[in-house]
Amino acid sequence: MERTGVPLLASRPMKSPTLVATAAFLLCAACGPPNPHSAKIVPEAVAAPTDDVVPERSGVIRRGDRGLTLIGTPLEVGKAAPSMALRASGWKEAPVDFADGTVRIVLTVPSLDTPTCSLETRTFNEKASSLGDGIEILVVSRDLPPAQERFCAAHGIERVRALSDYYDASSARAWGLFVKELGIFARAVVIVDGKGIVRYEQIVENQPDEPDYDAALAAVGALVPKTE
């Protein structure tokens, strides 16, 4: 008998796989909580928040009227200086462990190929002869090792050891002296005693300026008294 107004297919319900699966899911949900020992679908894990947020500091340094940002955990006088993973002449790895009994003056500079950095390095090279034994002066920048080597040869730098953080800026970040806007080291002078403890730090506020040489040398003299 023909039915008017009703599609012929409506009299034959479709058993769609999707509908069957949906019905099964609803039936299980109505039966109460699942057996804790049965298999279950776990939502994708969400990574827990971590404390590894790299600090940023503004208002510490500038270049003329332009404020700059320092990235990394700042050094603290009286606490241990992080080790440095640097490169030396010939691209050789040159890690620095500060707890080896040597007092160090660490000059971090933007680039040796600039007037102030060149003058600063040459000045410390000249003053090194008055510091006595047991003291090492390092100048650290992100210049490539061959450029550092050429600079030292051209200016007769023999009492200051040039090392490079070009590879990944890990040392600049570890010391809180990575300049975000420029990708270079900030100009600073840090003195570390033979046990690896920071005893003095000057971050030069206006980066094109020279550091306070007298204050740095006085801090070294307090650690290593001059011998007659």
Q: CB of 69 within 8 A of CB of 61?
A: no
CA distance 71 to 140: 17
Is 117 one of the catalytic residues? yes
What is the secondary structure of the chain as a DSSP string? -PPTTS-GGGGS----HHHHHHHHHHHHHHT-SPPTTS--PPPPP-PPP-S-PPPEEEEEEEETTEEEEEESPPP-TTSBPPPEEEE-GGG-EEEE-S-SS-EEEEEE-S-TTSHHHHHHHHHHHHHGGGS-SSEEEEEEESS-HHHHHHHHHHHT--SEEEEE-TTT-HHHHHTT-EETTTTEEPPEEEEE-TTSBEEEEEE-SBTTS---HHHHHHHHHHHSPPP-
Residue 155 CB-half CA count within 13 A: 24
Among 28, 31, 117, 152, which one carries the catalytic annotation? Answer: 117
Instruction: For 142, list phi and psi in degrees, rounded to 5.
Output: -100, 15
User: Looking at the annotation, which residues are catalytic?
Assistant: 117
